[in-house]
């Protein structure tokens, strides 16, 4: 033992401080990849299971270590950042300043597209951030490849367009138009007209479930399966018209913001909301979810932005004096809020589990532009802004995830990869009932129901209590003839019997009765058939 500790000491001495730091960092990452603690094996009695679980844990540890190392050493890119010196403040840095500092490729990502005629634009990005869809209110739909800034297709639907959303990838996209929602192919051909859902105000797509969620003018929330077209759910929210809808990326629960200041959470397979929260005294104007699914940001018309912890159903922070018409969380957790012609980006200044959002960057558009929709472009430090005069794109350093995972989303996808992925994602399609608040509980033990039937033991205990109570009841003194001891005992017995009777006979007694009957029947059988009778 001593030798060992000495060895350890020597090792510690040898380790440089840098290496120690690396070790600490790796350990933290390893912990992340271990996804929680293993079971306490000491409590297990089964030795075989114990050893099996122990070996399992060992392999898990190996895997986590490997993943941590890969994350540490092999991932190609590091996240962007904005660093200030002295009295400089990050929110004083303007886009023009950034443009001077960044490389040519990045500087090309700052631009305004001015389309003055066809109304405020909604924008949507594919999961990989490769393609953008812009939907002008007055019927202009444009599909743009952001990598080479090529306009793939633009169409004029000749109707009001209220919202646009990509489906699985850029091949199909949906547009909420005047009367119905439509699905278009990337070449502009109309693939479907979704007449069932009526005049849709908001569209969102649940990627893992292949569900197109839409909320219409009369406040009906509908989930339509895009693989077979079936309407998976049609829910009356009963809260009136709304055009605030967002999907929680972690568990695919759909959130609706209502005019009464409440935010409700819905799943396709339940008619009632999972929970509702009174977030604002006035109408909710927009909702956004942090990619980790635990944080929600809401903004109300009373000029407040609130950040909520969805695990505790608690408000963590209120940001005053800013009415956000639209909110958006970036992959790295920056929160962008847009109103009028002003964009504010909030950053989480605190580290760890507590959150403290404070201003990180500002951007003001040309006066008079009305911002309609903000959305961070995935895997890029870019914020897309759809406004009344077209759309713009600005650089927000540190907003995007620097390394993409080609299993999840690949901006450089080849045609073959895309096809393969389409098939895979179709095979991996999740049924709509898997949308739940805590999806990690799938496959675990069923949560204990509120007790409806007492267990046998409880019934027994209750019965005993009742009998005791019956036994200990003191009988009143009755008139002479009725107060005989025999009568009293008989009365008591009756009481006990009635107490017993009030508890229905247990099931097992019935079963035994049945068995007995079976045996009796066997006794009646002729001798030659007796051997077929059920034996004990």
Partner 1 sequence: MGGLKRKSSSKTLGKAKQRKGPHLPSSILKAINEKRPLNSDEEDDELDSDDENGGDVYEYEDGVPEEESRRNNRYDRVDNYEYELPEDFKVFFQHTRMLQDVSGLPAEVFKGEGKSERRKLYTEAYPESEFNPTRDVLEGKDSVTFEELLAPLEGKPGYNELRKSFSRMRKNTQSVVHAPLPKPERERLDRKSVRGQVDKEFDKWVPLVKRNREAPTVYFDKDVNLGYSTVGAIASEFKPRTKFEMNMASVLGGNEVLEAHRNDGVSMEDHIKDHNRIAKTRSLLFRHEIKSKRMKKIKSKTYHRLKNKDLRLAGESLMDPELAKEEAMKQEIRRVEERMTLKHKNTSKWAKRMRSRGLDMRYDETRAALSEQLQKHADLSRKVNSMNDGSSSDESDDEEELNDASDQDTPAKLLAKAKEKTLKIVEDDEVPNSGLLSLPFMARAMKKKQEEANEEAKRLVEEYEEWENPDGAENPKNSVNVIGRRSFGETAIVEAPKESKKEANNFYDNSDSDNDMDGIEDNDVVAVRDNASPARNTGTITETEIDDVAGNSAPKTTFDVALFASGSWKKMTGCKNAESKKASKTHVPISQAQDKKESRDEESEDSESEAEQMVDGILTSASKETFEIPSQAELINRAFAGDDVVDEFEKEKQKVLNEEVPEPEKPVQVPGWGQWTNIQNKRGLPSWMVREHEDAKKKREQALKTRKDARLKHVIISEKVHKKAEKLHTTTLPFPFTSKEAFENSMRMPIGPEFNPSTVVGDLNRPEVVKKTGVIIKPVKFEEVNPNDKADDEHPRSHQKQRPKKSKKVGRGQSKVKSK
Per CB under 8 A, 527 contacts partner 1: no
Question: Closest CB to partner 1 among 300 and 384?
Answer: 300
Only one of the segments 346-354, 362-370, 396-404, 479-487 lies at the binding site for partner 1 (rule: CB under 8 A); that segment is: 362-370
End-to-end Cα spacing for the chain: 61
Quick count: other Cβ atoms within 10 Å of Cβ 491? Answer: 14
Question: Closest CB to partner 1 among 229 and 240?
Answer: 240
The answer to whether the CB of 257 falls within 8 A of the CB of 298 is yes
Size of the site for partner 1 (CB under 8 A): 115
- Residues of this chain, 227-256, that bind partner 1 according to CB under 8 A: 241, 243
Question: Closest CB to partner 1 among 442 and 475?
Answer: 442
For the CA atoms of 37, 43, 47, 51, the dihedral, rounded to the nearest 10 degrees, stands at 20
Only one of the segments 83-91, 442-450, 465-473, 511-519 lies at the binding site for partner 1 (rule: CB under 8 A); that segment is: 442-450
Per CB under 8 A, 454 contacts partner 1: no
Per CB under 8 A, 192 contacts partner 1: no
The residues pairing with 177 across neighbouring beta strands, listed in sequence order, are: 161
Shortest spacing between CB 504 and partner 1, in angstroms:
18
DSSP output for 389-415: TEEEEEE-TT-S-SS--TTT--TT--H
The answer to whether the CB of 525 falls within 8 A of the CB of 517 is no
With a CB cutoff of 8 Å and minimum separation 6, the contacts of 291 are 249, 250, 329, 331, 333
Per CB under 8 A, 501 contacts partner 1: no
Per CB under 8 A, 426 contacts partner 1: no
Here the tokens at position 379 are: 């895997």
Q: What is the DSSP letter of 73?
A: I
Shortest spacing between CB 44 and partner 1, in angstroms:
6
Distance CA 69, CA 283 (A): 48
3-state helix/strand/coil string of 488-526: HHHHHHHHHHHHHHCCCCCHHHHHHHHHHHHHHHHHHCC
Shortest spacing between CB 249 and partner 1, in angstroms:
18
Shortest spacing between CB 357 and partner 1, in angstroms:
20
Shortest spacing between CB 271 and partner 1, in angstroms:
9
Only one of the segments 208-216, 223-231, 395-403, 438-446 lies at the binding site for partner 1 (rule: CB under 8 A); that segment is: 438-446
* Radius of gyration of the chain from its Cα atoms, rounded to whole angstroms: 33
Per CB under 8 A, 462 contacts partner 1: no
Per CB under 8 A, 469 contacts partner 1: no
Per CB under 8 A, 459 contacts partner 1: no
Only one of the segments 74-82, 350-358, 447-455, 488-496 lies at the binding site for partner 1 (rule: CB under 8 A); that segment is: 447-455
- Residue from 274, 316, 467, 495 touching partner 1 (CB under 8 A): that is 274
Question: Closest CB to partner 1 among 202 and 347?
Answer: 202
Going from the C-alpha of 348 to that of each of 29, 295, 335, 353, 354, the distances in angstroms are 20, 12, 8, 11, 9
Distance CA 170, CA 167 (A): 7
Per CB under 8 A, 433 contacts partner 1: yes
Measured in degrees and rounded to the nearest 5, phi and psi for residue 227 equal: -85, -40
- Residue from 6, 97, 302, 462 touching partner 1 (CB under 8 A): that is 302
Per CB under 8 A, 103 contacts partner 1: no
Per CB under 8 A, 195 contacts partner 1: no
Per CB under 8 A, 400 contacts partner 1: no
Only one of the segments 78-86, 223-231, 361-369, 523-531 lies at the binding site for partner 1 (rule: CB under 8 A); that segment is: 361-369
Of 279, 263, 331, 326, which is closest to residue 77 (Cα–Cα)? 331
Question: Closest CB to partner 1 among 77 and 114?
Answer: 114
Distance CA 254, CA 66 (A): 35
- Residue from 270, 316, 459, 496 touching partner 1 (CB under 8 A): that is 270
- Residues of this chain, 366-385, that bind partner 1 according to CB under 8 A: 366-370
Per CB under 8 A, 26 contacts partner 1: no
Which residue carries 């962008």 as its tokens?
A: 336
- Residue from 21, 111, 513, 518 touching partner 1 (CB under 8 A): that is 111
Per CB under 8 A, 107 contacts partner 1: yes
Q: What is the DSSP letter of 74?
A: I
Per CB under 8 A, 450 contacts partner 1: yes
Shortest spacing between CB 516 and partner 1, in angstroms:
29
Distance CA 358, CA 344 (A): 10
- Residues of this chain, 27-86, that bind partner 1 according to CB under 8 A: 34-41, 43-49, 51-53, 55-56, 58-60, 62-63, 66-67, 70
With a CB cutoff of 8 Å and minimum separation 6, the contacts of 467 are 496, 499, 500
The answer to whether the CB of 395 falls within 8 A of the CB of 109 is yes
Per CB under 8 A, 352 contacts partner 1: no
Distance CA 127, CA 469 (A): 68
Shortest spacing between CB 464 and partner 1, in angstroms:
19
Sign of CA dihedral 107, 108, 110, 112: positive
- Residues of this chain, 146-185, that bind partner 1 according to CB under 8 A: 148-151, 153-160, 162, 178
For the CA atoms of 349, 354, 355, 360, the dihedral, rounded to the nearest 10 degrees, stands at 0
Question: Closest CB to partner 1 among 273 and 347?
Answer: 273
């Amino acid at each position: 033992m001593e030798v060992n500790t000495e060895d350890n000491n020597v090792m510690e001495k040898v380790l440089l401080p840098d290496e120690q730091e690396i070790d600490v960092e790796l350990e933290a990452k390893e912990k992340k990849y271990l996804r929680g603690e293993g079971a306490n094996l000491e409590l297990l009695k089964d030795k075989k299971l114990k050893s099996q679980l122990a070996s399992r844990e060992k392999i898990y540890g190996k895997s986590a270590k490997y993943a941590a190392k890969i994350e540490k050493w092999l991932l190609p890119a590091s996240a962007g950042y904005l660093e200030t010196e002295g009295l400089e403040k990050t929110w004083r840095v303007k886009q023009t300043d950034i443009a001077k500092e960044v490389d040519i490729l990045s500087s090309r990502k700052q631009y305004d597209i001015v389309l003055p005629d066809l109304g405020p634009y909604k924008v949507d990005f594919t999961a990989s951030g490769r393609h953008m869809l812009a939907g002008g209110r007055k019927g202009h739909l444009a599909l743009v490849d952001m990598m080479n800034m090529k306009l793939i297709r633009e169409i004029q639907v000749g109707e009001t367009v209220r919202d646009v959303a990509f489906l699985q990838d850029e091949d199909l996209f949906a547009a909420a138009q005047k009367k119905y929602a439509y699905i278009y192919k990337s070449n502009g051909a109309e693939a479907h007209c979704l007449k069932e859902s009526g005049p849709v105000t908001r569209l969102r797509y649940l990627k893992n479930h292949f569900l197109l969620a839409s909320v219409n003018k009369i406040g009906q929330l509908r989930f339509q399966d895009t693989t077979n077209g079936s309407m998976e759910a049609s829910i009356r929210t009963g809260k009136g018209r709304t055009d605030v809808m967002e999907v929680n990326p972690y568990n695919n629960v759909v959130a609706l913001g209502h005019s009464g200041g409440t935010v409700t959470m819905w799943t396709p397979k339940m008619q009632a909301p999972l929970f509702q929260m009174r977030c604002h005294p006035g109408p909710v104007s927009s909702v956004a979810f942090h990619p980790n699914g635990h944080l929600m940001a809401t903004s109300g018309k009373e000029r407040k932005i609130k950040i909520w912890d969805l695990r505790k159903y608690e408000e963590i922070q209120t940001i005053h004096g800013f009415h956000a018409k639209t909110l958006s969380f970036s992959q790295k957790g920056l929160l962008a809020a847009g109103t009028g012609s002003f964009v504010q980006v909030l950053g989480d200044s605190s580290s760890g589990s507590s959150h403290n959002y404070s201003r990180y960057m500002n951007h003001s558009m040309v006066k008079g532009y009305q911002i309609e929709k903000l959305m961070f472009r995935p895997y890029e430090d870019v914020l897309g802004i759809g406004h009344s005069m077209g759309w713009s794109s600005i650089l927000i350093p540190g907003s995007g995830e620097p390394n993409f995972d080609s299993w999840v989303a690949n901006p450089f996808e080849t045609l073959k990869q895309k096809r393969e992925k389409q098939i895979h994602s179709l095979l991996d399609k999740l049924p709509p009932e898997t949308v739940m608040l805590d999806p990690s509980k799938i496959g675990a033990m069923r949560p204990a129901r509120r007790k409806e039937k007492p267990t046998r033991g409880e019934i027994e205990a209750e019965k005993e209590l009742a009998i005791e109570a019956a036994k200990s009841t003191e009988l009143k003194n009755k008139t002479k003839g009725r107060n005989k001891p025999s009568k009293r005992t008989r009365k008591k017995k009756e009481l006990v019997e009635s107490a017993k009777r009030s508890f229905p006979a247990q099931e097992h007694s019935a079963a035994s009765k049945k068995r007995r009957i079976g045996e009796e029947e066997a006794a009646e059988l002729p001798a030659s058939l007796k051997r077929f009778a059920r034996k004990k």
